[in-house]
A = this chain, B = another copy of it.
């Protein structure tokens, strides 16, 4: 593996850059007139070791004596995507997380957070004071949306162009380190969202250095990253080193790999497999388990199968089918990909197997889709009732809280947190935040701004025919400001009640073995015929729970069949303490009987242990 820029201490710095087709590459320090020429080594690597380089030195690479360009592996871009790169001394930060144990995957309660809109200040330091509240909620793992330097100050992060540089407006390298350090001190793990399928359009000078891209495949964002053509070894090196960089210098506990379906790679050892091998090697060497979690649109267990059975060996993946099943069921929406969902059967299959589409015909995709995940362990799936995409990719960025009733919100919380998968909350979800999560960008290129605006309008053309408003302007700062969550709401009214419910559900999930246990076989699920009631049983040794969920907007009756010990009620979301209409279910069930459950509610029972 080839490293890139490395500050070695004592004002010594090694510069390494890959540019196989250039003859002439130099380092242009901002405070010096003359550029310093680098030596070309094998495989197109330029190298220079220099002394008297203090940390924080600003530099460009100078290409063929003509252009100054930032370092593709820049560790920091203090003046944005077009400005000079800065030398960073990663040894100077004082970490206080020695000997910590990370949260094991199966015990993770994830919280997805967008740094720019989580707080008014919109930076890493502003997150820290809120960590205690997240710990109180029960969350133990932050999932931070991408932080690689993007153009301007407003972006989801998927337009990042310097994979190694922490966004300047978020607080740069030290800001991120302070946040991670604080998380680790509070025993929280941190997963970082990284984008290895494309780079943003503005400030992307990589193609001037080397064949990072290929036109052999098309992605929604243009040419694909070259993972399997000539020279792809060094492209892979760039991204694999990036992964290791986050673990080494930022103590990151895992990566969320964005949209791996847009990583096209026909080689005999696909990039994702190589990445997973290298991360596994690093994990073993450091005796610290690091997780790789994919976002994928493919419903393909190849991603998460072990390498020895032909898989890539990733640890887990997000399970969109679970979300879509739940969302379509509670909202009744039927557009776009929701047309493939909407029946209780779908949610039931998601509970039992993970993927709902396991090579069935998808009307949305107009083709068969997916393969079966029935044999994959349950901790390999991350589930959620919303995330940045499922809100922000709506024309108006609506969160689920503005689409369904309060009763339904509570039900949704129960579905996710009592599911036998890894739950993920989207920031603000825990108290029913209603602010939209808009799509926003802050490019400086006018053509690009126009293109993004028009793209957004084109995307929702169909909706506009139906008389809806036009999409909010992604470039308008107001829309970014409106997307910031209002943390203070959590203290009041039904926000507070929902927060208490989430806290209670997470607590139950952590403490009741039958819920904490994610084993596939310890689950029984049925739906009552012809109505929208789901009955879920889970067990683990002596612990045995029963959960009934009513997706109907009216009271529903269901049959309680059992043998053995009676069941004691633990929680009913329709109870008055949760601002519901009041429970219709008994505290204790000791005989087979027909019971009534309130609209859009769930209730949890635990089998009593008689001594």
Interface residues of A (CB under 8 A from B): 215-218, 228-233, 261, 264, 266-269, 298-302, 305, 308-311, 358-359, 361, 365-371
A268 engages B359 (CB within 8 Å): yes
Residues of B within 8 Å of A267, CB to CB, are 298, 300, 367-369
The residue from B269, B308, B370 contacting A268, defined by CB atoms under 8 A apart: B370
Separation of A376 and B310 alpha carbons in the complex (Å): 13
A367 engages B231 (CB within 8 Å): yes
A233 engages B299 (CB within 8 Å): no
Q: Which chain B residue lies CB-closest to A310? A: B310
B230 engages A366 (CB within 8 Å): yes
Separation of A233 and B366 alpha carbons in the complex (Å): 8
Interface centre among A215, A218, A233, A266 (most CB of B within 10 A): A266
B233 engages A361 (CB within 8 Å): yes
The residue from B216, B308, B371 contacting A217, defined by CB atoms under 8 A apart: B216
The residue from B308, B310, B358 contacting A311, defined by CB atoms under 8 A apart: B310
Q: List 10 A-B contacts (CB under 8 A).
A: A216-B217, A217-B264, A228-B367, A229-B367, A233-B366, A233-B368, A264-B266, A267-B369, A268-B358, A308-B309
A306 to chain B, nearest CB (A): 9
Q: Which chain B residue lies CB-closest to A364? A: B230
Residues of B within 8 Å of A359, CB to CB, are 268-269
A310 engages B305 (CB within 8 Å): yes
A-B interface, 4 closest residue pairs, ranked by CB to CB distance from nearest: A310-B310, A268-B300, A230-B366, A268-B371
Separation of A301 and B233 alpha carbons in the complex (Å): 20
Residues of B within 8 Å of A217, CB to CB, are 216-218, 264
Given contacts A215-B218, A310-B309, contact A371 B269 (CB under 8 A): yes
Residues of B within 8 Å of A305, CB to CB, are 310
Q: Which chain B residue lies CB-closest to A44? A: B366
A268 engages B367 (CB within 8 Å): no
Given contacts A217-B216, A309-B309, A310-B309, contact A268 B230 (CB under 8 A): no
Residues of B within 8 Å of A366, CB to CB, are 230-231, 233
Q: Which chain B residue lies CB-closest to A370? A: B268
Residues of B within 8 Å of A266, CB to CB, are 261, 264, 298
Residues of B within 8 Å of A231, CB to CB, are 366-367
A147 to chain B, nearest CB (A): 28
Separation of A229 and B220 alpha carbons in the complex (Å): 13
Interface centre among A215, A218, A301 (most CB of B within 10 A): A218
Residues of B within 8 Å of A365, CB to CB, are 230
Residues of B within 8 Å of A361, CB to CB, are 233
A252 to chain B, nearest CB (A): 27
Separation of A249 and B109 alpha carbons in the complex (Å): 59
Separation of A367 and B265 alpha carbons in the complex (Å): 13
Residues of B within 8 Å of A358, CB to CB, are 268
Residues of B within 8 Å of A269, CB to CB, are 359, 368, 371
- 16 more contacts with CB within 8 A, not counting A230-B365, A267-B300, A309-B310, are A216-B218, A217-B217, A228-B367, A229-B367, A230-B366, A232-B367, A233-B361, A264-B264, A266-B298, A267-B298, A267-B369, A268-B300, A268-B369, A268-B371, A269-B359, A269-B368
Residues of B within 8 Å of A310, CB to CB, are 302, 305, 309-311
Separation of A309 and B305 alpha carbons in the complex (Å): 10
Residues of B within 8 Å of A301, CB to CB, are 268
Interface centre among A268, A311, A369 (most CB of B within 10 A): A268
Q: Which chain B residue lies CB-closest to A219? A: B216
A33 to chain B, nearest CB (A): 37
Q: Which chain B residue lies CB-closest to A261? A: B266
Q: Which chain B residue lies CB-closest to A211? A: B366
Separation of A309 and B301 alpha carbons in the complex (Å): 12
Q: Which chain B residue lies CB-closest to A373? A: B268
Residues of B within 8 Å of A233, CB to CB, are 361, 366-368
A309 to chain B, nearest CB (A): 5
Given contacts A309-B309, A365-B230, contact A268 B299 (CB under 8 A): yes
Residues of B within 8 Å of A298, CB to CB, are 266-268
A19 to chain B, nearest CB (A): 15
A210 to chain B, nearest CB (A): 12
Q: Which chain B residue lies CB-closest to A303? A: B268
Separation of A369 and B309 alpha carbons in the complex (Å): 20
Q: Which chain B residue lies CB-closest to A216? A: B218
Interface centre among A217, A264, A269 (most CB of B within 10 A): A269
